[in-house]
């Protein structure tokens, strides 16, 4: 009888411990898309100039914006939120955003 109780305790212990492990693994694994932007020409510039203030999710979760809408978004970041974006870089940033996350992105 005593043996049986001890065995059930061990089983309960194992079940609890694996539950904690599964919980920890789920909690600490970030999906890869939250960390990085898609590769491509301009990805490094966008990473350097856009991910200073927020994560790549702000870009990747947008609907497929047109070039005009991406231009407006970049100009808003610069003028309204003070993003340190040189005006000369705007075309390259918009080009990457439109081709990777905009209306021109492959399906």
CB-CB contact of 16 with 7 (8 Å): no
Q: Does 10 bind ligand HEC (CB under 6 A)?
A: no
- What residues numbered 33-92 form the site for ligand HEC, per CB under 6 A? 49-50, 52-54, 58-59, 62, 73-74, 76-77, 81-83, 85
For ligand HEC, which is the closer residue by CB, 28 or 70?
Answer: 70
Decide: residue 104, CB within 10 A, 0-12 exposed, 13-18 middle, 19+ buried: middle
CA end-to-end span of the chain, whole Å?
A: 64
Q: Which residues bind ligand HEC (CB under 6 A)?
A: 49-50, 52-54, 58-59, 62, 73-74, 76-77, 81-83, 85, 93, 97
């Amino acid at each position: 009888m005593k043996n049986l109780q001890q065995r059930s305790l061990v089983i309960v212990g194992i079940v609890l411990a694996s539950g904690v492990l599964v919980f920890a693994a789920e909690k600490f694994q970030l999906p890869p898309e939250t960390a990085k932007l898609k590769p491509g020409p301009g990805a490094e510039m966008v990473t350097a100039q856009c991910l200073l203030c927020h994560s790549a999710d702000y870009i990747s979760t947008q609907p497929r914006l047109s070039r005009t809408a991406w231009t407006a978004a970049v100009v808003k970041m610069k003028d309204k939120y003070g993003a340190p974006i040189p005006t000369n870089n705007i075309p390259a940033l918009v080009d990457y955003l439109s081709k990777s996350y905009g209306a021109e992105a492959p399906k």
